[in-house]
Chains A and B, each alone.
Chain A
Amino acid sequence: MSNPAAVHDATTDQRGRGETLLKVRNLVVETDQGVPVIDHVSLTVPRGGTVGLVGESGSGKSLTSLAVLGLLPPGLRATTGQVELAGVDLLAARTSVQRAARGKQVAMIFQDPLSALNPRVRIGRQIDEILRVRDGLSRADAARAALELLRRVNMPEPEQRAQAYPHQLSGGQRQRAMIGLALAGKPTLLLCDEPTTALDVTVQKRILDLLARLQQEEHVALLLISHDLRVISHVAPDLVVMYAGRVVESGPTAQLLAAPKHPYTAALVRNIPSPRARTALPQPLIGVPPDPAHRPPGCAFAPRCPMAQPVCGNESPPLRPVGPAPTVPPAGARRLSACHFAEEVTRD
């Protein structure tokens, strides 16, 4: 399963600004039966930066974030690779070191805040509990700080909402409470897994704008995971595209959308219906992503790919640099694509 070009990090740290906060290198996650569900995934999140991770169900995007948190479900193990957070390899470190590093530095926001929040504890109490444990604040100070956090996430009427139980809040308010809770630990990295998918369209954009503002103000790095390219393109300057457990393309979001270098990215872009203009339905992709246990021998996308050639069915294309090298700082992330014919891909 060697993948020589996997040493290229998706969204490399060859960028002019910032040091690397999270570095995932050649991560492999396997089932107990030895089936790889994440296959040599590498990606980098710069300190204070935002990276989007897009993929469809089963692509391994959520498992990647769970592996970072050490929360892989039973039956799955990270077998090789590194997950480095601020220089500490979390996969190699002792459990106590892992816990300390994760607990202090990483927080996560889930799709459904109703199942992530404690239904029987008032919102304010859930937040001030963290402040009391983590910062040793007195009950009164913690309550004040919790209220301040609710203000920072633009919770309407924060004094009243602090006294409310999760079920008494709207979906958008619940997600704001969840974000406040995540920020209470002063994380350096916030993992957001489908943070707006369960929300109404009119609320989605406001939550994304809130995340973008907090990323600026609190200097917290975001790894934003979604199946929806529209959500990611709204806030993330850098993008990683996953398909069937692998990174197939990465680079600056604007460039990937304007001129994708992998036919799967091109299909994703083409298939997103725009409300701005009436367009005919695009030619649909045939079939569905492969089952990880029955991955085709060559490129996993080949059976659905409109550009597939015989070589695609035999040789797995490595993730390699494409396009011109970025110019001297400030340069964007290097573009990478795992397609034999990356240079020939067109958006339409």
Chain B
Amino acid sequence: MTEPLLTVAGLTVTYRTGRTSRTAVRDVDLRADPGEILAVVGESGSGKSTLARAIVGLLRPDRGSVALAGTALPLRRGSAQRRAIQMVFQDPRSSLNPRMTVRKILGEAWQTHPSTRPANVETGLRDLLELVGLPVGVLDRTAGEMSGGQAQRVSIARAIAVRPQVLVCDEAVSALDVSVQTQILTLLLHLRDELELAIVFITHDLGVVRQIADRVAVMHDGRVVEQGESEEVFEHPQDPYTQTLLDAVLDLA
């Protein structure tokens, strides 16, 4: 059996402030394969965003490892290792510089990882915009002039510009209106298929999870309490907490 693309093993992250400490992620094991969407669900405070940050390398874990194609990533990741795992945040208005043009935002990604810079930058920009469904006209507009949905497409373009293998999306559609949310979800499915991406999709919205996830991990109090094929988890939840979560979900009356 081949190694999964992304393997998270025994990951533990503790926050320390002065004399107090809080373990936000405890012994988490996950895996994701190319072309697969793994949803991580849980309430606020369950540790899902901390987990996302540790996977991307924005936080140092206290224990455990993140491995790419079987190779454990060191605490100080090399450029290629950082490039391979990219992240999309919840609110593009705070993750993008509102006064920077789209051209500059995407150009910076290639500056950070020159190996991915296309031979013809102008063609590369056009291809990238087409891939995320933006008109070429936005290139010289700033992120601040765009709607939330368009700006989120720019964030996604920035993430995939450096040709990652794994995309970690932390509540990437939660701040969007429903009519725009579906556009972005459709885009993510398209990218998963087109680029064979493994997508770690962090969310609290179980409705979205059921629509797009291949597998689901349920987090509670820093631990993954249940993990499995999406339909299996929804139809036959094993952990009582998963059941609580499913019972609480609002649906159209």
Contacts and interface: CB of A to CB of B under 8 A. Distances in A.
Identify which of B181, B182, B185 gathers the most chain A CB atoms within 10 Å of its CB.
Answer: B182
B248 A267 contact: no
B73 interface: no
A275 B248 CA distance: 11
Nearest to B249: A275
A202 B179 contact: no
A253 to B, nearest CB: 7
Contact of B43 (A200, A276, A284): A200
Contacts of B231: 278
A278 B208 CA distance: 10
Given A271-B181, A276-B251, A281 B207 contact: no
A288 B209 contact: no
A193 to B, nearest CB: 16
B197 to A, nearest CB: 17
B145 to A, nearest CB: 11
Contacts of B230: 278
Contacts of B211: 273, 278-281
Contact of B248 (A201, A257, A280): A201
Interface stretch (A104-112, A223-231, A307-315, A327-335): A223-231
A286 B182 CA distance: 10
A279 B212 CA distance: 9
Size bin of chain A's contact surface: 35 or more
A178 B110 CA distance: 49
A275 B183 contact: no
B232 to A, nearest CB: 11
B116 interface: no
A95 B225 CA distance: 57
A201 B43 contact: yes
Interface in B184-225: 185-186, 189, 204-212
Contact of B207 (A204, A233, A272, A304): A272
Contact of A275 (B43, B150, B206, B212): B206
Contacts of A253: 253
A288 B210 contact: no
A82 B250 CA distance: 35
A282 interface: yes
A288 B182 contact: no
Interface string A41-71: 0000000000000001100000000000000
A205 B250 contact: yes
A205 B204 CA distance: 14
A285 interface: yes
Given A274-B207, A288-B149, A269 B248 contact: no
B111 interface: no
Identify which of B44, B181, B252, B253 gathers the most chain A CB atoms within 10 Å of its CB.
Answer: B252
Contacts of A304: 179
Query: Which applies to chain B's interface (DSSP): helix, strand, loop or mixed?
Result: helix
A227 B43 CA distance: 20
Interface string B219-250: 00000000000110010000000001110111
A257 B179 contact: no
B190 to A, nearest CB: 10
Contacts of A202: 43, 244-245, 248
Interface string A186-210: 0000000000000011101100100
Nearest to A196: B250
Contacts of A231: 250
Contacts of A275: 206-207, 209-210, 234, 246, 249, 251
Contacts of B253: 233-234, 253-254, 257
B189 A281 contact: yes
B177 interface: yes
Contact of A281 (B180, B182, B250): B182
Given A56-B179, A202-B248, A273-B205, 16 more contacts: A201-B250, A204-B250, A208-B250, A228-B250, A234-B250, A257-B252, A273-B207, A274-B252, A275-B206, A275-B210, A276-B210, A278-B211, A279-B210, A281-B186, A284-B179, A285-B180
30 contacts: A56-B179, A56-B180, A57-B148, A171-B44, A201-B204, A201-B248, A201-B250, A202-B248, A230-B252, A231-B250, A233-B253, A253-B253, A254-B253, A272-B252, A275-B210, A275-B246, A275-B249, A277-B210, A278-B230, A278-B231, A279-B210, A279-B211, A281-B182, A281-B189, A281-B211, A281-B212, A282-B182, A285-B180, A288-B180, A304-B179
Listed from nearest, the 8 A-B pairs whose CB atoms lie closest are: A273-B207, A56-B177, A233-B253, A284-B182, A275-B206, A202-B248, A230-B250, A200-B43
Interface of A: 56-57, 171, 200-202, 204-205, 208, 227-231, 233-234, 253-254, 257, 267-269, 271-282, 284-286, 288, 304
